[in-house]
Amino acid sequence: MNYKLDVNEIKAHLKNNVDVLIFDTLHSTNNTAKELLFSGAPNGMAIIADGLTGARGRQGKAFFAPKGGVYFSVILNLNNSPELITVIAAVAVCEAIEKTTNLTPKIKWVNDIFLHGKKVCGILAEAIPNGIILGIGINFNATNFPAELNETATSLFVNEPPSVTRNKLIAEILNGIFENDSCENTLKKYKSRLFILGRQITFEYCGSLKTATALDIDNKGRLTVRLKSGEILTLEAGEIKLVKQG
């Protein structure tokens, strides 16, 4: 099986006519997508890199992105429900992984994909004039994580050879992003994969650390939580952590 990135193989699995560019190494696929957009790149273009030197996630956090992973950004001109793009992307990633492997990933609100209790994928959506740059980074078969990530990060394939090429996985994710599924159905799929509902979480709110029970997500993908006082809050974004049991 050929694991090298290949435009022709990606396009062979695509259901839509998507422009695809592949690079050996980039600082950030999101940054390159912005540069290309300002140069006239079309809506729907996918920018893919074999490795990244300046990958970042939400709140500017660094993202470990050695060569051999799945790293790409898509230029999207969204007319409907742009606030749900992270929800749409998370569902597309999970369904693509499920379709091409025997793995069953879960979602940690708002934009992290988990496997066996560890993060395997991060999603970053950045607003641009008249659209969004959507970045996705997946640990494919990396095993050389920095020491500080060993307990929190994993790859799709760790102790066995990959059962799917990166090309097919990327194509399936792109197919999921561009499918015309209803917002209601996408939200149901997203909620069914959340592993935080009903559990205790902590988060920063108005400058202080709060503890609450994660209750539900609304029709905009926002998380509703109940504080110990009984007060209900709606979180639009932010970093949450699960409270360890026992």
Q: How confident is the model at residue 91 (pLDDT cuts 50, 70, 90)?
A: very high
Fold of 200-242: SH3 type barrels. (2.30.30)
Q: Note the pLDDT tens digit of each residue in 102-114.
A: 899 999 999 999 9
Domain 200-242 in the same topology as domain 7-193: no
Q: Which two tokens stand for residue 5?
A: 């990135």
Give the start-to-end residue ranges of the domains of the chain.
7-193, 200-242
Across the range 14-36, mean pLDDT stands at 95
Q: Which two tokens stand for residue 137?
A: 């980074």
Strand segments (E) across 189-239: 200-205, 208-217, 223-227, 232-235
Strand 20-26 versus strand 46-52 pairing type:
parallel
Percentage, residues of the chain above pLDDT 70: 94
Q: Note the pLDDT tens digit of each residue in 54-74.
A: 766 555 566 788 899 999 999
Threshold 0.85, pTM exceeds: yes
Per CATH, the homologous superfamily of domain 7-193 is Bira Bifunctional Protein; Domain 2 (3.30.930.10)
Q: Which two tokens stand for residue 92?
A: 């597309």
Decide which of 5 and 61 is more confident.
5
